Chain A
C-alpha cells in the first residue's frame, strides 16, 4: 500500500488549530457545493431535466389553444383571452418556484443523504440559500423556454409586460419559496409520510389566488382570504396591466410586504420544525 503521499496536503498528527479550515457563518463554497450536487444530478438524469420542461409545455399548449379560441370571440370574452395565457405562465412560475425548492429538498430525503448534510459544516441558512438558488435555476430552465415558445406558437409575448413582469416574477417566487420552506420543514419533522403536502398545498391555494378570475368573483368572505395571499395581488396586477394597460405599484408593494412576512414565518417555522425533529429523534431515523 502506497502511503507516502496520503498526508501530503495536511501534515501528520497531532492536529493543531492552525491547520483547520476557518469557520464561517455563511460560506459561498458550501452553498456552491450544494448547487454542484444538483447540477451533477440533473446532468446525470435526463428524465429529471425533461420533467422541468414538459409539464409547463403541456400547460402552454392546452391553455394556448383555449386562448386562441377565445381571441376569435367578440367583445369582452376575446379581450379576457389575452390575460389567460399570462395567468397560466405566471401560475407556472409560482408552482415551479415551490417545486424547484421542494424537489431538491426531497432528493436528499429520498437518497437518505440528509443526515450526512446535517452533520457537515453546512448551516441551516446555507442549506436554505442553496435550495433557493436551485429553485431559481430550475424556474429559469422551466419557464424561459416556454415563454419563447408562447411567442412562436400563440403570438403571446410575456416579456412585453416589461418591469411589471419582474415584480410579478419576484413576488410569485417569494410566495412559492415560503410555502416550500414550510412544507419541507414539515417533511423533515414528520418524514416522507408528509410528502403529500409538498405536492398538494399550492393547488389548495389556487381557487383563492384568483388566478383566472378577478377577486370580485369570489364571495365576500373568501375575498378577505384572497387578499391575504400575495399571488392574488400579482394576478390582479397582471390583469390590470394586460386589460387596462396600468401597472399597479400599490398591489406589488402589498404583495411584497406580505411575502416578507411569509418568508420570515416560513424560515422560523422551518427552524422550529427542525428543532422539533431533533427533539423527536426523527433526523436520525431518516436513514433507517
Chain B
C-alpha cells in the first residue's frame, strides 16, 4: 500500500447523534483509507443509516467531527460534494424524466465534462441502452437500481456511499450490481462505504467491516478476521452473536471507541 492509498478519505471522531431521548449514534470514531471497501454492519436501529446521513450532510451531528478528504464535513461540505456520491433504494429519481434526461441533469449538477459522452459510457457499462430513453417510472426494479448506480457513478466519485445497494433485488441482479461495484473500485481506486444487512454481500465486497450495535462500534476487522475471531464459519453467525450478545460478543469488553 502506497502513501496515496493510506490517506484517510473519511475521518470520524466521537460522532454522536441524539434525537430527543434516543441516542442513534453514540460517540463513534473511525477512519477509512482510500481505495478500500468498508461495510457498516448492524441490525435495525444500529445507527448505520444515521452515520451515512451525517457523512452526507443530510443529518447534523449532535457532537463529534467529520473530515472528508481532509476537509471539515460541516463547514466545507460543498468543497467535497462533487468528489462523492450516494446510492440508496430509498431515494428515487424523477419518474417522469427519461433515464437519459435524469443522467444529463445530474451530470450537469456534478459539473461532469462532456455529459453526453459520459452517459453513453455508463449506458454501455451498466447496460442501460434498452431503456435509456424510457421514463424512469416505467422501468423494472432491477433496471431502476442500475439507473441509480449510473447516477451514483456519473461524476466518477472518489467516495461512494451506499445504503443497502442490493436491497429487494433478485440474486442475479444483486450479484451483477456487486460485480460492477468491485470493478469500479478496482479500476478507479475509489473508496466505498456501504451499509448492508446482506452478509454474503459484505463478505464478498468488503475489505473491512465496522460492526455497529445500538449506535456504538462493537468490533472492526476484515470479514474473515471477524469469522475467525468469533470462532464461527460465516459472517452471519458473527452478526447473530453480536446482535444477540452471545458467544464472544457476550464476554466482549466495552464497545470500541475507536476503530
Contacts and interface: CB of A to CB of B under 8 A. Distances in A.
A193 B95 CA distance: 21
Q: Which of the four size classes fits the interface of chain A?
A: 35 or more
A119 B96 contact: no
Contact of A30 (B35, B108, B183): B108
Given A13-B187, A107-B94, A278 B58 contact: yes
Contact of A284 (B50, B125, B183): B50
Contact of A29 (B111, B183, B188): B111
Interface in A93-145: 107-108, 111-113, 115-123
Contacts of A278: 57-60
Given A37-B94, A107-B94, A6 B106 contact: no
B109 A122 contact: yes
A116 B49 CA distance: 15
B187 A119 contact: no
Contacts of A115: 58, 86, 88, 91
Interface string A226-265: 0000000000000000000000000000000000000000
Q: Is the interface of A mostly helix, strand, loop or mixed?
A: loop
A286 to B, nearest CB: 8
Nearest to B153: A6
B94 to A, nearest CB: 5
Contacts of B135: 44
A32 B187 contact: no
A220 interface: no
B190 A287 contact: no
Given A9-B114, A115-B58, A281-B19, A120 B109 contact: yes
Contacts of B93: 111, 113, 116
Scoring B49, B58, B117, B125 by chain A CB atoms within 10 A of each residue's CB, the highest score goes to B58
A275 B60 CA distance: 8
A8 B121 contact: yes
8 contacts: A14-B35, A21-B82, A41-B97, A116-B91, A119-B86, A123-B78, A280-B19, A284-B58
Contacts of B96: 40-41, 44-45, 111
B108 A33 contact: yes
A40 B92 contact: no
B151 A14 contact: no
B53 A281 contact: yes
Contacts of A287: 88, 90-92
B131 interface: no
B158 interface: yes
Contact of B190 (A13, A119, A121): A13
Most buried by A among B83, B96, B117: B96
B233 to A, nearest CB: 33
A216 to B, nearest CB: 48
Contacts of B98: 40, 44
B83 A119 contact: no
A216 B111 CA distance: 55
Given A14-B189, A23-B79, A23-B82, A40 B108 contact: no
A279 B60 contact: yes
A34 B106 CA distance: 9
Contacts of A275: 60
Contacts of B187: 3, 6-7, 12-13
Nearest to B96: A44
A116 B151 CA distance: 9
B192 to A, nearest CB: 13
Nearest to A30: B109
B104 interface: yes
Nearest to A284: B53
Interface string A1-38: 11101111110111100001111000101101110110
